[in-house]
Amino acid sequence: MSKDTVEAVVQCLGISSSSSSSRSKSNIVGVVVIVEVIVVVAVVVVVVVVVVVVVVVKVVVVVVVVVVVVVVVVAAAGAVV
């Protein structure tokens, strides 16, 4: 990015590097961005945890069903013999 482009973007955002009030504005913008990033990361983590829990529960249910079927089949085979 050229210096002119950076200055144009800064002016569009209403941030002037000379005044202290705009500096505090940029600090506020920075804090808001950080908070937004934290919220997004937290949401992503929650979604990932929920997905992992759902997958683990499904796997456990499948394993339990398979074990029950195997036990029933073995018991039935034992009863037949």
Could you tell me the residue ranges of all domains in the chain? 3-80
Residue 55, C-beta contacts closer than 8 angstroms, at least 6 positions apart? none
Q: Which pLDDT score, from 0 to 100, does residue 80 have? A: 74
Q: Is the dihedral of CA 9, 23, 28, 45 positive or negative?
A: positive
pLDDT tens digits along 11-65 = 656 555 555 555 566 677 777 788 888 999 999 999 999 999 999 999 999 999 9
Q: How far apart are CA 43 and CA 19, in angstroms?
A: 36
CB 24 within 8 A of CB 17: no
Q: Which pLDDT score, from 0 to 100, does residue 32 have? A: 78
Q: Which pLDDT score, from 0 to 100, does residue 30 have? A: 74
Structure tokens at 4: 């002119």
- pTM attached to this predicted model: 0.48
